[in-house]
Structure 1
Amino acid sequence: MKSRKEYNYFEAFINLSKFSLNSAEILNKTLHEFDIRKINEKIREMHNIEHSADIAKHEMLECLMKEFLPPIEREDINVLSQKIDDVTDAIEDVLICIDIFNVKHIRPEILKFTELIVDCCKSMDSALVEFQNFKKSKKLHSEIVEINRLEEEGDALYVNGVRNLYKTSGEPVELMVWTEIFRRLEKCFDACEDVANTIESIVMKNS
């Protein structure tokens, strides 16, 4: 662990976002190449990432407890680290849900979700890179706007996906399973937007 004097909270935020992006890429690849025989292996891989993210977050908060003068308010560091961690958790929840419901085939429209989640996590990572120099950055605002745009695109996928589901299936179990999976996918976009909104709030307070 870095010493208090050396600890860089902005780099730590970026590090947390890398876990989210890695999780998104694994989810996307797993569902594009879906093989039910490998689902447990992929869940373990995803859980290891989530566990590493938790360790990194706890390290940050441990440094924060001993920090005399953090670069931004303690509460903001705590909240932002949790919001980024929520993205990783939300992505993991999608794969867990697919396993719990014993899904054997992935609906084609689901792949549009996972590709967009990867894009959203990439934009979140870019926003956090710009956040390091938020007082001088000329790109941070556009990165936040892009995350908001992707979240709206994710909402549209959710609405269209659920509508199509109920138009094409009358089987109660299938409806229940895929409605929940759609909901968890949509939650990933909301989690990314929460990060963007938190960054924006911190910038406003420190401008």
Structure 2
Amino acid sequence: MLFGKLLPREGNFFDLFNQHADHTVEAAKAFAALVANYSNPELRAKYNEAVDKAEHAADRVTHEVNRVLHTTFITPIDREQIHALINTMDDVADLLQDSAETMALYDVQTMTEEITRLTDLSLKCCERVRDAVRLLPKLADPATTEAALKTCEEIDQLEGDADRVMRMAMSKLFRTPDMDVRELIKLKAIYELLEKITDVCEDVANIIEGIILENS
């Protein structure tokens, strides 16, 4: 009995998930501001730095979750689900940082309508992930479970929208007769990164749906 009382229990996983989701939304908003102000070098640098700062904060939360996971005997949800959820969420933050860095490294000069649309969809996906994560501690309530599943469905729909924008963007790139090859390569890489953000948000939604099904 004493042994059981001494074992670390629960941890603060849900709080940490919320913190990570908040940092990811911060990164997504900073990236959206970067795209919106791309023609201004000073603002571009400011928002690029903001993306980095938010990603680093999210990364610290990921490390903390993994640390707590190794020192906690009884967890509120399955250990593998905790590990998968936080690391997949962290992939989203990483991709936002990668997108900003790639724009700088490739010296992209102008934003296209497709980049703006994909950025908007990425931000919306990150916000929906945050909304779904916030519902995880309350899955005993059927209404909360329904709301969480609906939010996951919205993420799936947003990913589908991003996929369609991506296909149209690629078609436009390769059908433009006077498109500079170097510019084509740059834009293709950016489009793929931005669409990947929504893909990984969908992966997060799928993990959350699995948690819901096992714990509701």
Q: Does 1:30 align with 2:34?
A: yes
- Counterparts of 2:140 and 2:205, CA distance in 1: 16
Q: 2 CA distance for matches of 1:25 and 1:42?
A: 9
Any conservation in 2 of the 1:90–1:191 contact (CA below 8 Å)?
no
Q: Does 1:156 align with 2:164?
A: yes
Alignment of 1:1-207 (within 5 A): 7-35=11-39, 37-38=41-42, 39-136=44-141, 137=144, 138-168=146-176, 169-207=178-216
Is the Cα contact below 8 Å between 1:11 and 1:132 reproduced in 2? no
Task: Measure the CA separation in 2 of the matches of 1:30 and 1:42.
Answer: 5
Query: Which range is displaced more, 69-78 or 162-171?
Result: 162-171
The whole-number CA distance in structure 2 between the counterparts of 1:123 and 1:41 is 26
TM-score by length of 1: 0.92
Indicate the structure (1 or 2) with the bigger Cα radius of gyration.
2
Secondary structure of residue in 1 paired with 2:75: coil
Distance 1:181 1:161, change over 3 A: same
Mapped to 2, the partners of 1:108 and 1:202 lie a distance apart of: 37
Cα pair distance change 1:62/1:50, threshold 3 Å: same
Q: 1:47 Cα deviation (Å)?
A: 1.5
Give the gaps of 5 or more residues in structure 2: 1-7
Partner-residue secondary structure (3-state), 1:70: coil
Q: Which moved more, 1:97-106 or 1:29-38?
A: 29-38
TM-score (norm 2): 0.88
Residue-pair matches, total: 204
List runs of 5+ in structure 1 lacking aligned partners: none
CA RMSD in angstroms, aligned pairs only:
1.6
Amino acid at match of 1:149: Q
Cα distance in 1 for partners of 2:149, 2:10 equals 28
8 Å contact from structure 1 (residues 17, 125) kept in 2: yes
Contact map agreement 2:27 2:93 (CA 8 A) in 1: yes
Identity rate of aligned residues, in percent?
28
